[in-house]
Structure 1
Amino acid sequence: MHKLQPQLLNAGRARSTLEARRRKALLKTGALQDAILNSAKFSSIATDEQGVIQVFNIGAQHMLGYAPADVLNCVTPADISDPQEIVERARALSAEFATTIAPGFEALVFKARRGIEDIYELTYVCKDGTRLPAVVSVTALRDLQHDIIGYLLIGTDNRARKRVEAEQERLDQSLRDTNLALQEAKTAADRANLAKSEFLSNMSHELRSPLNAILGFAQLIDSGSPSPTPAQQDSLDQILQAGWYLLELINEILDLALIESGKLSLSPEPMLLDEVLADCQAMIEPQARQSGIRLNFIAAEAPIFVRADRTRVKQVFVNLLSNAIKYNRVGGSVEVRCSARAGGRVRIAFQDTGEGLSAEKLAQLFQPFNRLGQEGGVEEGTGIGLAVSKQLVELMGGVIGVESTEGAGSLFWVELQAAAAPQLVEALPTPTAHASAEALPGVPQRSVLCVEDNPANLTLVARLLARRSDLRLLSARDGRRGVELAHSAQPDVILMDINLPGISGLTALKILLDNPATAHIPVIAMSANAMPRDIAKGLEAGFFRYLTKPIKVKEFMDTLDLALACERDGAGEALLQEIV
């Protein structure tokens, strides 16, 4: 008996401990249940197995405005929900599970009854008629035998998320509208740029065709025999000066339009500045001599290379040199020197001894069509050259600037990126033009076919070739006739306009190149289509050379001689291959 007492005592203590733990767990469970029922953060609605509300917690009361007496034992959650949403949910579930589900409480608990987790959005209709969007989680309540005894619907206020979503949608729509407006503006700008480019291209073509006749015949008379009288020469000089000035204006306007539309193509390469400046000096010296201006090109101590587009660099340098001569004083000078600058740049400076520019005029430089009050002066100018030069330099990654003092002249400078000397490669031999003013004894006359629909331009070519007794002119007024004549007459060289009746010059060229009987004949384009893309397209198509109208007589004759030389060399090679 005495031995059992400690065991009984220990057992009693263990039971007391277990009971205390059980009471504590019950109290905790009760506290949790009270916390759930009294939470104002979310609604807890419990129903019986038929869906009639049995529990309506504080959160549900606060969120929906109903008192327990309004809903307990009398309505289901479906009765305080948006009826249209209930109908739509029943329809969606019916389609998903291939069974008919009636709108009502069944649609709210269909998945939960089958043990499927179900969380969805639902709009409650509050007592005051307002609507409360909520996210509802539905759980089936089961007894110990796993039979359903009711359902628990826990809902959280979804208004904040809806507001965020609505604001995000508003912002997204605003962004879409902005992007659409920007796209429409870009499309309109692209169309405007295209229309402007097409207009300028067409106008360039229309102006160049009559200019070709004006300048062509003027050059023809100027270089003819007998020489013009002094009065005639003065008139010719006026015609040529005005004609070339008009051509310069056309070219500068086209350049400006190409730059503004972003369609100007550049071909940067390492180039020796001394060579480029020497070319510019040769081009500008006649103007300097005529104006009595001394040119002083100071050679650099060592060869200097820059990376830029050679053609465009020459255009910029010649423009700066021309301005330095035009706006210099009588007997003045222009000095050109190159120097290395920080950041791997090279500065090319053009110093003149002109009148200089005021601070007000300096601020207006590089503006298109602004001649700084020189519109009524004796010197011709377009006011575009500096604007084009500035944009060309910047497109090549360089900088252009000016320093000037009134009465002491101006210093224009261009800075370009320095480059390493290019690797030397062995040059391929190029055909040499053979000048032949007269036909050699025993040498048959050679033929030139000119395919041109403009009578004035055709007459100009005829007059030029009439000076050469070694050449015979054939002509055709349209592309098809030109192709036929090329095949039957086998001319030594073909001069081809681009815009022709019937088929274009490009189409005619393709036909000639595709035919072995005419593929060897050099075809020179002579066109008023002078946009860079036109020239590139023509050369890519296979033209031997591409001359733009108005033609320069010397350039035309040199190109013709070069083509004749190439044709003769090519014919000799073909004959040699045939013999072999």
Structure 2
Amino acid sequence: MKLILVYGLSCLIFSFLIIQYRVEFFIYKKIKKIYENVSLLSTSSLDPEEMTLTDIATLSKEVEKFAEGKKLEIEALQMRDSYRKEFMGNISHELKTPLFTVQGYIETLLDGAMKDKKVRKKYLNRASKGVERLIYIVKDLDMITKLETGELGLNKENFDIVEVIQNVFDLLEMKAAKKNINLEFGTPYKPVMVFADKEKIQQVLTNLIVNSIKYGKNDGTTEVLIENLSKNKVIIRVSDNGEGIQPVHIPRLFERFYRVDKSGSRKEGGSGLGLSIVKHLIEAHKERIFVESTFGMGSEFSFTLKKAKQS
């Protein structure tokens, strides 16, 4: 009798162990299959020798982590898609406007207006301006693309940034005079030597000062100031007392074709890529650009440059 009890108990324990092993193995296989199906989950956290029912919590955590990652990825893709659609709409508008203008004037000339010498000259001049605008847009887009891909190299040299600023003032003096804007140099006129691509930095300053004039108020002021930032860096500030920028627009100022004033800014001309080019040129120098603005009071754009090494 005692022997039968021992035998029965042994069978029960053995059966329990076999069943437990089979159940654990079954659960492991099922969970591992889920891990393998969801390719981003790692099966390294699963151990077939230690697999128990409580390991479903591991799967739960991994799936939650995976789902959160996918959610963030989807949100990022949605933002990119939204940006892509907006960009395509903007570039379509920027190209369509001058193209239709040129087409309109040429068709009018072909329909008979060409016989009138005065009308012909006026319409050809206007068509020429439309073509120039298209050229600006294409050239600026080409420059940004080359900067992004690293095809447009920098020709760095030591030069006097004060002299470059004065050159830009001379070039834009007449443009500023149309709005009676005073171009001021807030630094004592003495050489400040920097190490950068002279031509590209002149373009940066030109774009920033043109913007300052464009959005500046009549009888206003645009000031350029150079300050020491550190032992080997200077910061150049371009400030105005114009209309300023609302905070909602500041994070997107350097996007291609992004315009704060959707209607009026196009009347001022340009490609709509000026600030985007500025950002790319400064970043190509491994430098930083900043913007501060108070709506209704004015704006300040500033960027850093490396000082020239003392010989």
Q: Is the shorter-chain TM-score for this pair beyond 0.5, marking a shared fold?
A: yes
CA displacement, residues 396-416 of structure 1 (integer Å, 9 cap, x when unaligned): 122111110000010111110
Deviation at 1:384, TM superposition (A): 1.6
Q: State the alpha-carbon separation in 2 of the partners of residues 356 and 240 from structure 1.
A: 33
After the TM superposition, which residues 375-386 of structure 1 pair with which residues of structure 2 at under 5 Å, given as runs? 375=263, 377=265, 378-386=267-275
**Structure-2 change in CA distance of 1:381 and 1:295 (3 Å):** same
Match of 2:292 in 1: 403
Q: State the alpha-carbon separation in 2 of the partners of residues 274 and 379 from structure 1.
A: 27
**Structure-2 change in CA distance of 1:406 and 1:256 (3 Å):** same
Match of 1:415 in 2: 304
SS at match of 1:413: strand
Deviation at 1:281, TM superposition (A): 1.5
SS at match of 2:178: helix
SS at match of 2:243: coil
Match of 2:215 in 1: 327
SS at match of 2:143: helix
Q: Does 1:362 align with 2:250?
A: yes
Q: Which amino acid aligns with 1:413?
A: S
SS at match of 1:291: coil
Q: Does 1:388 align with 2:292?
A: no
Q: Does 1:246 align with 2:141?
A: no
Match of 2:40 in 1: none
**Structure-2 change in CA distance of 1:345 and 1:300 (3 Å):** farther
**Structure-2 change in CA distance of 1:320 and 1:232 (3 Å):** farther
Q: Which amino acid aligns with 2:150?
A: G
Match of 1:339 in 2: 227
Deviation at 1:244, TM superposition (A): 3.2
**Structure-2 change in CA distance of 1:420 and 1:385 (3 Å):** same
Say which of 252, 256, 259 aligns to 2:147.
Answer: 259
Structure possessing the higher radius of gyration over alpha carbons = 1
Identify the structure with the greater helix proportion.
2
TM-score (norm 2): 0.57
Match of 1:313 in 2: 201
**Structure-2 change in CA distance of 1:264 and 1:419 (3 Å):** same
SS at match of 1:354: coil
**Structure-2 change in CA distance of 1:234 and 1:348 (3 Å):** farther
Q: Which amino acid aligns with 1:245?
A: R
Match of 2:171 in 1: 283
Say which of 176, 182, 186 aligns to 1:294.
Answer: 182
Q: State the alpha-carbon separation in 2 of the partners of residues 348 and 389 from structure 1.
A: 13
Are the counterparts in 2 of residues 371 and 381 from structure 1 also a CA contact under 8 Å?
Answer: no
Are the counterparts in 2 of residues 347 and 413 from structure 1 also a CA contact under 8 Å?
Answer: yes
**Structure-2 change in CA distance of 1:420 and 1:291 (3 Å):** same
Q: Which amino acid aligns with 1:399?
A: R
Deviation at 1:364, TM superposition (A): 1.1
Deviation at 1:304, TM superposition (A): 0.6
Are the counterparts in 1 of residues 136 and 270 from structure 2 also a CA contact under 8 Å?
Answer: no
Are the counterparts in 2 of residues 361 and 372 from structure 1 also a CA contact under 8 Å?
Answer: yes
**Structure-2 change in CA distance of 1:302 and 1:376 (3 Å):** closer
Are the counterparts in 1 of residues 223 and 239 from structure 2 also a CA contact under 8 Å?
Answer: yes
CA displacement, residues 297-332 of structure 1 (integer Å, 9 cap, x when unaligned): 234364211111011111111000111111111222
Q: Does 1:348 align with 2:236?
A: yes
Are the counterparts in 1 of residues 195 and 308 from structure 2 also a CA contact under 8 Å?
Answer: yes
Are the counterparts in 1 of residues 148 and 280 from structure 2 also a CA contact under 8 Å?
Answer: no
After the TM superposition, which residues 86-97 of structure 1 pair with which residues of structure 2 at under 5 Å, given as runs? none
Q: State the alpha-carbon separation in 2 of the partners of residues 341 and 405 from structure 1.
A: 23
CA displacement, residues 171-228 of structure 1 (integer Å, 9 cap, x when unaligned): xxxxxxxxxxxxxxxxxxxxxxxxxxxxxxxxxxxxxxxx9xxxxxxxxxxxxxxxx9
Q: State the alpha-carbon separation in 2 of the partners of residues 326 and 232 from structure 1.
A: 31
Q: State the alpha-carbon separation in 1 of the partners of residues 284 and 253 from structure 2.
A: 18
Q: State the alpha-carbon separation in 2 of the partners of residues 309 and 380 from structure 1.
A: 26
**Structure-2 change in CA distance of 1:318 and 1:267 (3 Å):** same
Deviation at 1:350, TM superposition (A): 0.9
Deviation at 1:284, TM superposition (A): 1.5
Deviation at 1:239, TM superposition (A): 4.6
Q: State the alpha-carbon separation in 2 of the partners of residues 396 and 388 from structure 1.
A: 13
Q: State the alpha-carbon separation in 2 of the partners of residues 236 and 295 from structure 1.
A: 35
Identify the structure with the greater strand proportion.
1
Q: State the alpha-carbon separation in 2 of the partners of residues 283 and 396 from structure 1.
A: 24
Q: State the alpha-carbon separation in 1 of the partners of residues 207 and 161 from structure 2.
A: 16
After the TM superposition, which residues 352-501 of structure 1 pair with which residues of structure 2 at under 5 Å, given as runs? 352-375=240-263, 377=265, 378-420=267-309
Q: State the alpha-carbon separation in 2 of the partners of residues 345 and 297 from structure 1.
A: 19
Are the counterparts in 2 of residues 340 and 346 from structure 1 also a CA contact under 8 Å?
Answer: yes
CA displacement, residues 501-524 of structure 1 (integer Å, 9 cap, x when unaligned): xxxxxxxxxxxxxxxxxxxxxxxx
Q: Which amino acid aligns with 1:309?
A: D
Deviation at 1:258, TM superposition (A): 0.4
SS at match of 1:404: strand
TM-score (norm 1): 0.32
Q: State the alpha-carbon separation in 1 of the partners of residues 177 and 122 from structure 2.
A: 18
Moved over 6 A (4+): 231-234
CA displacement, residues 435-456 of structure 1 (integer Å, 9 cap, x when unaligned): xxxxxxxxxxxxxxxxxxxxxx
Q: State the alpha-carbon separation in 1 of the partners of residues 195 and 169 from structure 2.
A: 20
Are the counterparts in 2 of residues 270 and 421 from structure 1 also a CA contact under 8 Å?
Answer: no
Match of 1:203 in 2: none
Q: State the alpha-carbon separation in 2 of the partners of residues 323 and 233 from structure 1.
A: 31
Are the counterparts in 2 of residues 300 and 339 from structure 1 also a CA contact under 8 Å?
Answer: no
